[in-house]
Amino acid sequence: MKKLFVKDYHQLSLTAFDLFLQEFQDNPAGTFGFATGSTPIGFYQRILEDHALYQTDYSNIKTFNLDEYVGLDEHQPQSYHHFMRHQLFNPLGIGREQVHIPKGNAEDLQKECTRYESLLSSNPIDLQILGIGENGHIGFNEPGTTFESGVHITTLKESTRQANSRFFDSIHEVPTQAITMGIQNILHAKKILVLVSGSSKAPILKEIFHHPVTTKIPASALHHHPDTTFIIDEKAAVSLS
Ligand code: F6R
């Protein structure tokens, strides 16, 4: 795994944007895997700034998201559908037909997992963007998830619900389950870019790089991927030597 060290969150967002743009320019009809959470917001803002300046045309890309909360309607502000539409897709003019996000309110969730799995197998992801959870999760693959996992329903760890409660009025409103790409789906992406910012990620980053690969640390599965780049800011890098 490659590590790129940058000064701060601003530099991390710019570096992610540069690498994304290179990939996009090589492949303007590519398939891009996006993440939600706080970390990619600065990177998404750089994409929007560039689009506003140069009218960069994203009308031929396809997008896939990692995950969605179970039980949330796509119009609810905390849903990842809503997040992506507002942070990225609407301002870029990316249409619904280009966008793929698991449906957290599907009537039959198992069927929804199968549907998303088959979409992913017919649309291999060229570049997957990832953040990591403080417990090492990628997507919503919590510690203990097998590396062979495909799209599945997962029960969120209390620590994950706590960390994400900042987006809700109270912890009680944070869903207990999510539908997520599995680790195997993530590892099938041709390239992976992992954005890691802030001191809260320092301990898990040390585990990822200094401990053997283990299902206890889902992000350690990325050691098995041939083309993964971590972009790490100074605060996240403090425990790496
Ligand atoms: C988001 C996702 C999660 C986040 C992770 C880090 O779609 O799948 O794995 O990337 O929880 O979140 P932040 O960036 O908010 O620290």
pLDDT tens column, 181-210: 999 999 999 999 999 999 999 999 999 999
Q: Is 140 in the pocket of ligand 1 (CB under 6 A)?
A: yes
Question: Where along the chain do its domains lie?
Answer: 2-233
Q: Is the predicted pLDDT of residue 241 greater than 80, yes or no?
A: no
Q: Please report the atom of ligand 1 found closest to the CA of residue 131.
A: 10
Over the stretch 126-147, which tens digit does the pLDDT of each residue have? 999 999 999 999 999 999 999 9
**Domain 2-233: CATH architecture, name and number where available:** 3-Layer(aba) Sandwich (3.40)
> Region 109-136: what's the mean pLDDT?
98
Query: What residue's CA is closest to ligand 1, atom 8?
Result: 139
Q: Please report the atom of ligand 1 found closest to the CA of residue 37.
A: 15
Report the separation in Å between the CA atom of 50 and the middle of ligand 1, taken as the mean of its atom positions: 24
* This model's pTM is above 0.95: yes
User: Is 137 one of the catalytic residues?
Assistant: yes
Query: Looking at the chain, how many residues does it have?
Result: 241
DSSP string, 42-84: HHHHHHHHHHHHH----TT-EEEESEEETT--TTSTTSHHHHH
User: Is 211 one of the catalytic residues?
Assistant: no
User: Is 210 one of the catalytic residues?
Assistant: no
Q: Is 31 in the pocket of ligand 1 (CB under 6 A)?
A: no
CA triple 175-196-49, angle to 5 deg:
90
Over the stretch 19-45, which tens digit does the pLDDT of each residue have? 999 999 999 999 999 999 999 999 999
Q: Is the predicted pLDDT of residue 116 greater than 80, yes or no?
A: yes
pLDDT band with cut points at 50, 70 and 90 for residue 82: very high
User: Is 142 one of the catalytic residues?
Assistant: yes
Q: Is 38 in the pocket of ligand 1 (CB under 6 A)?
A: yes
Q: Is the predicted pLDDT of residue 161 greater than 90, yes or no?
A: yes
